[in-house]
């Protein structure tokens, strides 16, 4: 059992400006895969499939969504929304580092959800780089609303993904047994009140950390509201 466990952490950051614009950043830190012989072998196989027989475990590259097969099937308006977006993959076996970063600027939270649905369309045509997938939002898109100096995160919508069989689910649970999900909100004013479970408030910032399995099993929710001051 211990042989299959791996360090796998996800950091989700939401930067919100006064006018409703902002940035959505996801960082997947899978560096622990290099210390696991089983998963290291899987990484090498994925790299070999992409680049032929030569395996390059030292890379720092940018992958643009416009270069993925599914991009051509989007409407012109949809293409304009995501043509400049990319994911950065930093992988170094010598440093024991494997990090995937996505940065998505948005004019409004409604636009952020629109971008997510577009990336879902791309992902349906292409599995992304290696086994990580191409949509930074993962299986469920974060849903937000805003009130007067208030950011509200709604419960995740039910996923349309097919349920995994018992054997695959057991493997996933072993792999994610130590994984953490951290969400950090950067608000335009000092936080007055936050009712999201496990939240730690520090000035204009709110940090929530949970075990990824607890979130998958719905033992803890990421939904709730954050109220903040004018500045």
Name which of 53, 171, 6 is nearest 44 in CA terms.
Answer: 53
d(CA 129, CA 214) in angstroms, rounded, equals: 27
Whether pLDDT at 22 is above 80: yes
Q: What is the mean pLDDT of residues 21-36?
A: 87
Main-chain phi, psi angles of 28, to 5 degrees: -100, 115
Query: In the chain, what percentage of residues exceed pLDDT 70?
Result: 78
Please give the tally of structural domains in the chain: 1
Q: Would the pLDDT of 99 be above 80?
A: yes
Task: State mean pLDDT over 170-183.
Answer: 82
pLDDT of residue 106: 96
Q: Whole-angstrom Cα distance, residue 188 to residue 230?
A: 7
**Is the pLDDT reported for residue 43 higher than 80?**
no
Higher local confidence (pLDDT), 139 or 19: 19
Confidence of residue 120 (pLDDT cuts 50, 70, 90): confident
Res. 227 pLDDT band, cuts 50 70 90: very high
Q: What average pLDDT does this structure show over 15-43?
A: 84
Q: State the average pLDDT for the chain.
A: 83
**177: containing domain:** 2-228
User: % helix / strand / coil in the chain, to the nearest 5?
Assistant: 30, 35, 35
pLDDT grade, residue 51 (50/70/90)?
low
Q: Can you tell me the distance from the alpha carbon of 122 to that of 128, in angstroms, rounded to the nearest whole number?
A: 9
The CA distances from residue 139 to 80, 135, 149, 220, in Å, are: 23, 8, 29, 17
Q: Is the pLDDT of residue 26 over 50?
A: yes
Average pLDDT over residues 22-49: 77
Higher pLDDT, 194 or 131: 194
């Amino acid at each position: 059992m211990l042989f299959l466990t791996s360090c796998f952490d996800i950091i989700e950051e939401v930067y919100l400006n006064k006018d409703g614009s902002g940035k959505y950043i996801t960082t997947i830190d899978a560096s622990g895969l290099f210390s696991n012989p089983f998963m290291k072998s899987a990484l090498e196989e994925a790299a070999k499939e992409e680049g032929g027989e030569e395996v390059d475990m030292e890379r720092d590259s940018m992958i643009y969504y416009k270069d993925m097969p599914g991009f051509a099937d989007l409407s012109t308006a949809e293409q304009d929304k995501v043509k400049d977006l990319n994911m950065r993959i930093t992988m170094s076996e010598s440093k024991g580092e494997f990090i995937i970063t996505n940065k998505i600027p948005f004019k409004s939270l409604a636009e952020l959800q629109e971008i997510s649905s577009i990336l879902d369309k791309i992902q349906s045509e292409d599995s992304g780089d290696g086994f990580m997938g191409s949509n930074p939002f993962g299986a469920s898109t974060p849903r937000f609303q805003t009130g007067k100096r208030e950011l509200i995160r709604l419960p995740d919508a039910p996923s349309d993904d097919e349920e995994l069989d018992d054997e695959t689910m057991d493997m996933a649970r072993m792999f994610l047994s130590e994984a953490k999900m951290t969400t950090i909100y950067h608000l335009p004013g000092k936080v007055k009140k936050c009712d999201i479970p496990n939240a730690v408030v520090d000035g204009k910032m709110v940090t929530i950390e949970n075990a990824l399995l607890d979130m998958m099993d719905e033992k803890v929710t990421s939904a709730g509201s954050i109220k903040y001051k004018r500045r």
